């Protein structure tokens, strides 16, 4: 389950931010995760609670914003929203798509004390 290592990375970022900015408690973590990022939401939520125990973010709420998958279609020239990497273009049915968004995952912001 790679979600555990993702949350370990989030914990590292939070702890470094706490040291650099002098806060001692995180009450909310907001993440933006693209639909094509390959992250299992339920596994991430479980890992979040487990991995953040004993950190400045222990007990913090987690809010996840889903970002749409986007691709450029070489057949019709449009930028389209897709659910899965191998989707056909919803505009023209073409299969020649280049993914341009939805693979990202980032910490949007933190609420801290």
Whether 92 has a binding-site annotation, put simply, is: yes
Whether 84 has a binding-site annotation, put simply, is: no
Whether 96 has a binding-site annotation, put simply, is: no
For the chain, helix, strand, coil in percent to 5 are: 25, 35, 40
pLDDT for position 1: 59
Domain span at 39? 1-112
Range 59-81 average pLDDT: 98
- Per-residue pLDDT tens digits for 8-51: 999 999 999 999 999 999 999 999 999 999 999 999 999 999 99
Whether 76 has a binding-site annotation, put simply, is: yes
Domain total of the chain: 1
Q: What is the CATH number of the domain that holds 2?
A: 3.30.2320.80
Whether 12 has a binding-site annotation, put simply, is: no
**Residues 25, 56 contacting (CB under 8 angstroms):** yes
């Amino acid at each position: 389950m790679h979600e555990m290592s993702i949350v370990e990375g989030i914990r590292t970022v939070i702890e470094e931010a706490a040291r650099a900015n002098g806060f001692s408690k995180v009450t909310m973590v907001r993440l933006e995760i693209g639909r094509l990022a390959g992250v299992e939401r339920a596994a991430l939520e479980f890992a979040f609670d487990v991995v953040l125990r004993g950190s400045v973010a222990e007990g913090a709420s987690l809010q996840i914003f889903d970002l749409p998958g986007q691709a450029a279609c070489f057949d019709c020239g449009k930028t389209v929203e897709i659910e899965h990497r191998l989707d056909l273009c919803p505009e023209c049915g073409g299969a020649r798509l280049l993914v341009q968004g939805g693979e990202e995952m980032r910490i949007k912001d933190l609420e801290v004390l």
